Structure 1
Amino acid sequence: MTDALVLIDPAASTVEVADLGSPQLPVTDLSAHRGDGIFETVLVRIGGGVTVVSHDRHFARFRASASALGLPDPEPELWDRGLNTVIAEVLANDPTITEFGVRYALSRGTQNSDGSQSPRGWAFNVPVDEKIRRARAQGISAVSLDRGYDAYLGNKAPWLLIGAKTLSYAVNQAASRYAVEQGADEALFVSHDGVVLEGPTSNLIIRRGERLLTPPPEAGLLSGTAQRLVFDHAAELGLSAEYADFGLNDVIEADGAWYVSSMRTAVSLTQLDGNPIPRDEKLTAELQKLIMAG
């Protein structure tokens, strides 16, 4: 897949096609050495038109993250123009493509001599690679990791930005690498007081009978667009949907468990800390179809 990049200038309201292989970001940008910015990744599906999965949910979270960080409120028309430009560039280069992701980001930018800042944005395409396709088809295993704080800490310490999707993903990446070193595919964060939270880049949904359960975002996790899409349409699958605190044993003893995210859609969690979890192939396929439809 050919790379596409656009640069988005919030102050000038401009979108400019650029070369992803060329230098674009100054080292003084606060996203580069402080992770001071926000991002979203959307799945784009091609077939009978173009579908940006959960477009509005992603952008609403993008704006909420900007508010939490004190960044300028992203202007919908400008960011849609950036997103649509990337999509058009990808399709022009590969008309046969059926799905890909677009990641868009807003940085606080550089610190000016007068103390002001110059936010900058960008968007580029990311592939749906073989690892993602394999996880969709085969499921994944996970190991539980202590997140290092108690559940609901964000209610007392909003400056921790627990519910914001920031560019500071070093901990998440380290957790995923550690999980692989332990022989698993992914990590599952658990609060220090034992409440199951989320994966490094996914939300967790479990099935108990005819109920779908997921941890409440207030417990200390990112509110997921794919998870909320599933919950909004759970009744169509003959299921109820609830937010609830639960522990590791509840996951292991569930009738099924899934990691859900924009790019992977829904993948079965088949094993946790060496304990097998039943696979529900029919429901997995239904969840994937539901999320991909957007």
Structure 2
Amino acid sequence: MAAAPAPDSLALLDLARAEFTLVDPRDPHLRVDDLAPHRGDGIFETVLVTRRGAADHVHARDLHFTRFRASAAMLELPAPDPDLWHAALDAVVAEHRAARGDDEPFTVRYTLSRGVDAPVGWALTIPLDPKYVRQRAQGIAVVTLDKGYPAYFGQIAPWMLIGAKTLSYATNQAAGRWAAAHGAEDVIYLSHDGRVLEGPSANVVIRRGGELLTPDPKAGLLHGTTQQTIFSHAAEAGLLCSYTDLTVDDLMSADGVWLTSSARVSVPVTALDGAALTYDEEFSARMRTWVLGDPGTV
């Protein structure tokens, strides 16, 4: 009989004592009335981990943690202690790698919940979905959906937490189901006044000649860590990188459209609302190399 796969690794963080414990993820740990599962009242980040030589590399570690702290501030949660959270992250990475005994990439999702009586945190390793390899190589069809509010709405309604990476993902999941029911694999949200925002779990990047463009995070979206990494390398390569308002017409006329995220890296969008888009395979590979270093890593 084949051995069962090694379980994912889990660290529980005691924020008051500034310590963590590695535990069996198959055991019960979370109260059902914790405000994370009960109301989605918490924040998270998901980092990609790949093998570089003999060591594991956590991609965009600092960018993720900076956004994590910003999300905590928006939700009025305690400022996460970097020493504690980074130590817990490194511990689950090491345990996961030792248990699996392979060089396969994976992700770690670290979470801060408002808890019940006090905030609680944890870090959990998660294998990559095999479909991401196909999506990066072949591209995906996407549909647009109206987000229901105008661009820059968060500037006048900060309590909406637009720009915070919260655990409230029910509408994101619903958008994915809507896309699947309409023959697509993902969604690009539009503001009610027609500006491009983001995907349910990805940022939108387009190329127009020698320029890369992405929507301004202030328009009502999460500032992506992978998008920032791509822009940094693209600027070093001599490309102009801009944050600006985009429309569906901009996507249709672009020299390439991508959804970027930590786990999927960069996925070309080959069709939008049933219409074919330009697919630049060479530039897609270049973007993945900017993020991963080795194009064959994932």
Instruction: Give TM-score scaled by structure 1 length.
Output: 0.96
Gaps of 5+ in 2: none
Aligned-partner SS, 1:118: coil
Counterpart-to-counterpart distance in 1, 2:129 and 2:74: 32
Identify the residue that residue 24 of structure 1 maps to in structure 2.
29
Q: CA deviation at 1:160?
A: 0.3
Counterpart-to-counterpart distance in 2, 1:82 and 1:187: 33
Q: What are the within-5 Å matches in structure 2 for residues 53-72 of structure 1?
A: 53-72=59-78
In the alignment, residue 150 of structure 2 is paired with which amino acid? D
* Residues 79-123 of structure 1 deviation map (CA, whole Å, 9 limit, x = unaligned): 01110111011111123223110000000010xxxxxx3110001
Gaps of 5+ in 1: 111-116
Aligned-partner SS, 1:233: helix
Aligned-partner SS, 1:32: helix
Identify the residue that residue 160 of structure 1 maps to in structure 2.
160
State whether structure 2 residue 125 is matched by structure 1 residue 107. no
Counterpart-to-counterpart distance in 2, 1:271 and 1:66: 36
State whether structure 2 residue 92 is matched by structure 1 residue 76. no
Q: What are the within-5 Å matches in structure 2 for residues 253-292 of structure 1?
A: 253-292=253-292
Q: What are the within-5 Å matches in structure 2 for residues 1-294 of structure 1?
A: 2=6, 3-48=8-53, 49-110=55-116, 117-293=117-293
Q: CA deviation at 1:137?
A: 1.2
In the alignment, residue 24 of structure 1 is paired with which amino acid? H
In the alignment, residue 95 of structure 1 is paired with which amino acid? G
* Conserved? CA contact 1:53–1:293, under 8 Å: no
* Conserved? CA contact 1:140–1:185, under 8 Å: yes
Instruction: Give TM-score scaled by structure 2 length.
Output: 0.94
Q: CA deviation at 1:235?
A: 2.5
Identify the residue that residue 113 of structure 1 maps to in structure 2.
none
Counterpart-to-counterpart distance in 2, 1:57 and 1:281: 27
Aligned-residue CA RMSD (Å): 1.2
Higher mean displacement: 101-110 or 24-33: 24-33
Number of corresponding residues: 288
Counterpart-to-counterpart distance in 2, 1:165 and 1:7: 20
Counterpart-to-counterpart distance in 1, 2:65 and 2:293: 17
Give me the identity figure in percent.
Answer: 51
Q: CA deviation at 1:21?
A: 1.4
Counterpart-to-counterpart distance in 1, 2:91 and 2:196: 39
Q: CA deviation at 1:246?
A: 1.3
Counterpart-to-counterpart distance in 2, 1:90 and 1:179: 33
Structure 1 residues 7 and 292: alpha-carbon distance in aligned structure 2, compared to 1, 3 A threshold: same
* Residues 39-96 of structure 1 deviation map (CA, whole Å, 9 limit, x = unaligned): 0000001121221000000000000000000000000010011101110111111232
In the alignment, residue 81 of structure 2 is paired with which amino acid? E
